[in-house]
């Protein structure tokens, strides 16, 4: 009888762990719910960045919306670092932290192992039409939104064919007027921003 009970407990435990794992996997593969009252921001919209985030050299500005509590944001760190290494001479990269918890700029820089500006301005997400993390807002040298969307279609940011952020930066630097992105690039996936309601 003891062996039978032990087996039942073990099976129940494994089932519960498996259900939690698959729930989390499924949750982040579904689109992030659109918040009530959300207003999309179209490419070409003039974005009035605070002076602290404007490019001092006339370069495009790449805003990385990051939530340290979001698993999708944590999976995305390496892809963001690769973009900074590849384009850091031609694009100004900034990290925009959106979290219900308090972090310091130094803590965030340490997570990325990068010395780049960090902002905690929660108003920037609405300004750029961002309601989930991780997300990109790429602003051209004329302060117009060029791209707002995902880094990749994969939660783990490993699908090179859909490296949307890379495609957007390349398109902007090559002065392509308009790049057509598929629905997966522009539909938000990941973690809802703190305070968003749906």
pLDDT digits (tens, 9 = 90+) for 59-96: 999 999 999 988 888 888 999 999 999 999 999 999 99
Number of domains in the chain: 1
Is residue 2 situated within a structural domain? no
8 A C-beta contact, residue 114 and residue 78: no
Q: What is the mean pLDDT of the chain?
A: 84
CATH number at residue 80: 3.40.30.10
How much is the pLDDT for 155?
56
Q: State percent of the chain over pLDDT 70.
A: 86
pLDDT higher at 1 or 168? 168
pLDDT higher at 196 or 90? 90
How much is the pLDDT for 32?
79
How much is the pLDDT for 2?
77
Is residue 132 situated within a structural domain? yes
How much is the pLDDT for 136?
95
Residue 197 has pLDDT above 60, yes or no: no
Is residue 148 situated within a structural domain? yes
Domain containing 130: what range?
61-192
Is residue 145 situated within a structural domain? yes
Is residue 5 situated within a structural domain? no
Is residue 43 situated within a structural domain? no
């Amino acid at each position: 009888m003891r062996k039978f009970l032990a087996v039942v407990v073990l099976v129940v435990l494994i089932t519960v762990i498996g259900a939690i794992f698959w729930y989390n996997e499924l949750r982040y593969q579904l689109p992030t719910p659109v918040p009530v009252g959300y207003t999309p921001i179209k490419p070409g919209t003039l974005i009035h960045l605070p002076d602290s985030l404007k490019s001092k050299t006339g370069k495009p500005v790449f805003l990385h919306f990051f939530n340290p509590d979001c698993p999708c944001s944590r999976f995305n760190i390496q892809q963001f670092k690769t973009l900074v290494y590849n384009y850091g001479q031609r694009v100004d990269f900034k990290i925009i932290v959106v979290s219900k918890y308090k972090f310091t700029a130094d803590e965030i820089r340490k997570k990325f192992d990068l010395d780049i500006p960090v902002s905690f301005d929660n108003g920037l997400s609405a300004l750029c039409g961002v309601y989930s993390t991780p997300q990109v807002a790429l602003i051209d040298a004329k302060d117009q939104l060029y791209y707002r969307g995902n880094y990749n279609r994969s939660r783990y940011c490993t699908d090179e064919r859909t490296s949307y952020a890379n495609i957007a930066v390349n398109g902007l630097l090559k002065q392509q007027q308009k790049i057509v992105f598929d629905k997966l690039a522009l539909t938000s996936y990941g973690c809802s921003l703190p305070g968003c309601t749906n």
